Chain A
Amino acid sequence: MTAPDPAFSPRASASPPASVTPSQRAWRRFWRNRPSVAGLAWLAFLVALMALWPWVAPYSFSATSDVQFSPPSATHWFGTDVNGRDLLTRVVYGARVSVMVALVGALVAVVNGVLWGASAGFFGGRWDGFAMRVVDILYSLPSIIFVIVLITTLESWTRQTLQARFHLGPEIVGKARLLFLFAGLGAISWLNMARIIRGQVLSLRSRAFVDASLALGATPGRVLFKHILPNVYGVIIVYATLTVPSIILYESFLSYLGLGIQPPMASWGSLISDGASQLNPIRVHWWLIVFPAGALVTTLLAMNFVGDGLRDAWDPKGRND
């Protein structure tokens, strides 16, 4: 069929077998960066904890008890909250929600941003002008306000539709807001991605291997997906990694305002919000704020360390060792 000669494919470019590919070199640089590896280790620990927690947890995340506001102790390592729920369990559970929202949101943002930016850079001309104008306009709008309006107004509408049209149980319908968090947060986070990918694709498009595969009869779609996008995948990885913490921040922002995750579910933002609402001059329940905030901050730090490490490793201006 139209399979191009592998010699023109950028991944299998003719390099002597003994040498290393640029991507291998980048990973090698990444593994030498100590803060990044430490960040990756922390994230791996967190993922393992989130995955295994239901089996090892002594408490359920929503089980109330008589021990209200117990400070950290041997039985409750992170203390308990206003309803006597174990805070450690809730922090781990909140991690699941926060990380899930961030991963799905980042996926939406990456797919959207890559398609938009790559098509703008690749097809150029009028479409490029239009696409980038849209990005500029969206960039200058108060996007989070639109997300707030979207979430609050469309949520009840979706609930009704889900119940009436698809006969879903209240269990699933109650999570309708999660869907909006995914979509809304993804929808406002793709702009940077689109700009960067467009710039990269624009410079790749004028390279000889693109002309070669077009001359060999490959369709533009095939050239874009098989030859150009694999060349920018380092950039995509870097910016996807940096998008995840920013979506976690957005989610905690919305949950703090009471617009995100609804009780009895919890995310880090809603846990901090619960803790802040218990602030009073008489008794300071510090653990209600310090532990969720600590989890949030260490995870954001770890993600940024990993993102920075990836960026330095994939930076074309970096050292060639």
Chain B
Amino acid sequence: MTSYLIKRLLGLVPLLLCISFLSFWLVRLAPGSPFDRERAPASPEIERALRARYHQDEPLWKQYVRYLGALREPDAQGRAHWVGGGLLQGDLGPSLKYRNHTVNDIVAQGLPISMSLSLLAFCFAIGLGVPLGVYTAQRRGEWGDYVGSFFALLAFCVPGLVVGPLLVMGFALRWGWFPVALWTTPWHAVLPTITLGLYFAGRVARLMREGMTEALREGYIVTARAKGLSESRVVFRHALRLAILPVVSYSGPLLADLLTGSFVVESLFRIPGIGVFMVNSALALDYNLVVGLALVYAVLLIVLNLIVDVTYSLLDRRVKLG
């Protein structure tokens, strides 16, 4: 297990280099520079000074090596020394648009909010989807199944950008039960969580229904019933462990979709998360911010996927990691 984890985490390094290089090069393909996006264009001298300040006037390879933090440069006395900082030390560099912030600042400010929203929505999706899936699978072919499955499919067809405005119109503006926007009290989290999680609850319910249907056909379930166990014990103690596996393997992509899906929810509810930076950084050609955010998301997703894989093998002992 430990060697597997080390192997997976070591595999991360070339992948991150690859991602950083790709996004580094990709954003610089766009015409224009991060410094010509002001309403009144700066004088050529100022722009030149800015480019020099942020090392944008160097050749591309040198910029990249500097970004990694592996550059050696002569100092005032002419002795070569490491420039330091850079990706190797976890420094994502300065933001080129929000010039008094580093990328690390922006990530540290926005990411906890985005992640807590995503985690809340994850709990909502699992908490609603799994019971609904079990309920419909137990009543396969009955009215309860048809109604439950229809609601699961409906949730699956209602993305956040539809649920959000409708919830705001009803619960926030018309009846005033919940606040419209911002992220201060737990009360503020209710509508965004439902908005983000509902669609995924539908997906989880559909997966759970399939998984439970398959599991209930297994031979050991017949044995368990023959032993005279109660139905709830059969379902929750014996079948659930096998039936939840599709949901577990989906939860990796699910978390990825939640993290990116929160962009829409954040923009709708004016939540100060990281989504707005992600969208604006690409538009404003804020090179460092784009590369930094792509890296942060990649690391997050890979680590989350690793957790999912380990959980899967703990639940299903037939799966060997490695």
Whether the Cβ atoms of A272 and B162 lie closer than 8 Å is yes
Residues of B within 8 Å of A286, CB to CB, are 169
Q: How far, in Å, is A154 (CB) from chain B's closest CB?
A: 6
Binds A, one of B59-67, B88-96, B277-285: B277-285
Residues of B within 8 Å of A259, CB to CB, are 279
Residues of B within 8 Å of A289, CB to CB, are 165-166, 169
Other-chain residue from A145, A156, A275 in contact with B294 (beta carbon distance below 8 A): A145
Residues of B within 8 Å of A284, CB to CB, are 169, 173-174
Given contacts A137-B15, A141-B19, A253-B159, contact A152 B283 (CB under 8 A): yes
Given contacts A276-B164, A304-B157, contact A142 B297 (CB under 8 A): yes
Question: Does chain A have a CB within 8 A of B138?
Answer: no
Q: How far, in Å, is B191 (CB) from chain A's closest CB?
A: 13
Other-chain residue from A249, A252, A301 in contact with B154 (beta carbon distance below 8 A): A301
Residues of A within 8 Å of B156, CB to CB, are 304
Residues of A within 8 Å of B240, CB to CB, are none
Residues of A within 8 Å of B26, CB to CB, are 146, 149-150, 153-154
Whether the Cβ atoms of A141 and B260 lie closer than 8 Å is no
Question: What is the total number of residues of chain A having a CB less than 8 Å from a CB of chain B?
Answer: 45
Residues B112-171 near A (CB distance < 8 A): 153-154, 156-159, 161-162, 164-166, 168-169
Question: What is the total number of residues of chain B having a CB less than 8 Å from a CB of chain A?
Answer: 48
Whether the Cβ atoms of B267 and A257 lie closer than 8 Å is yes
Whether the Cβ atoms of A153 and B285 lie closer than 8 Å is yes
Complex CA gap A259/B15 in Å reads 27
Question: Does chain B have a CB within 8 A of A269?
Answer: yes
Ordered by A's residue number, 21 sampled pairs between the chains whose C-beta atoms are within 8 Å are A137-B15, A140-B252, A140-B298, A140-B302, A142-B297, A145-B260, A146-B23, A148-B278, A149-B290, A153-B26, A153-B29, A160-B31, A249-B159, A253-B263, A257-B264, A258-B279, A259-B279, A276-B164, A279-B173, A289-B166, A297-B158
Residues of chain A having any CB pair with chain B under 8 Å: 137, 139-142, 144-146, 148-150, 152-154, 156-157, 160, 245, 249, 252-253, 256-259, 269, 272-273, 275-276, 279-281, 284, 286, 289-290, 293, 296-297, 300-301, 304-305, 308
* Sample of 16 more A-B contacts, CB < 8 Å, known A140-B298, A153-B26, A157-B29: A137-B15, A145-B278, A252-B159, A256-B161, A256-B264, A272-B161, A272-B162, A273-B161, A275-B165, A279-B165, A280-B173, A281-B173, A281-B180, A296-B162, A304-B156, A305-B153
